[in-house]
A and B are shown apart, each in its own frame.
Chain A
Amino acid sequence: MPEISPEFTAELKKGSVQLCLLALLTQEQKYGFQIIRELRERSDGFFDLKEGTLYPALRRLEERGFVESHWVEPESGNPRKYYQITERGRRALSEGRELWDRMTAGARRVLEASR
Chain B
Amino acid sequence: MTSVDSYLGEVSRGLRGMDVAVRKDILRELRSHLVESLAANGGNVSAAVAATGEPRAVARRYRDLYGFGVTYRAMFVAIAGVLAVFTVPVLTATDEFLFPLYLSTPFLVADIAFLIWVSVVAGNRAGLVAGTAGCAGRLAAFGGAYLVSTAPLIRFEGLTLFALVSALMVVIGWAPGRARRAWRRPSADL
Contact = CB atoms under 8 A, between A and B. Distances in A.
**A interface residue count range (under 10 / 10 to 19 / 20 to 34 / 35 or more):** 20 to 34
Contacts, number: 86
Given A32-B29, A56-B62, A80-B32, A50 B189 contact: yes
Nearest to A53: B190
B121 interface: no
A54 B29 CA distance: 11
A57 B51 contact: no
Contacts of B155: none
Contacts of B52: 50-52
Contacts of B110: none
B53 interface: yes
Interface string A58-90: 011001000000010000001111000000000
A7 B188 contact: yes
A81 B40 CA distance: 17
Q: Tell me the interface secondary structure of chain B in the complex.
A: helix
Contacts of B35: 78
Contacts of B64: 56
Given A10-B189, A14-B190, A33-B33, A55 B57 contact: no
B190 A57 contact: yes
Interface in B41-62: 51-55, 57-58, 61-62
A6 B30 CA distance: 27
B32 A10 contact: no
A11 B187 CA distance: 9
Given A10-B186, A10-B188, A51 B62 contact: no
Contacts of B40: 33, 37
A49 B33 contact: no
A24 B94 CA distance: 76
Given A7-B185, A81-B29, A54 B190 contact: yes
A97 interface: no
30 contacts: A10-B189, A14-B190, A31-B36, A32-B36, A33-B32, A33-B36, A33-B40, A50-B51, A50-B52, A50-B58, A50-B190, A51-B52, A52-B52, A52-B58, A53-B53, A53-B57, A53-B58, A53-B61, A53-B190, A55-B26, A55-B30, A55-B62, A56-B61, A59-B65, A63-B65, A80-B32, A81-B25, A81-B28, A81-B29, A81-B32
Interface of A: 6-7, 10-11, 13-14, 17, 31-33, 37, 49-57, 59-60, 63, 71, 78-81
Interface of B: 25-26, 28-30, 32-33, 35-37, 39-40, 51-55, 57-58, 61-62, 64-65, 185-190
List 10 A-B pairs, minimum CB-CB distance, nearest first: A50-B53, A52-B58, A52-B53, A33-B36, A56-B61, A53-B190, A52-B52, A78-B35, A51-B52, A10-B188
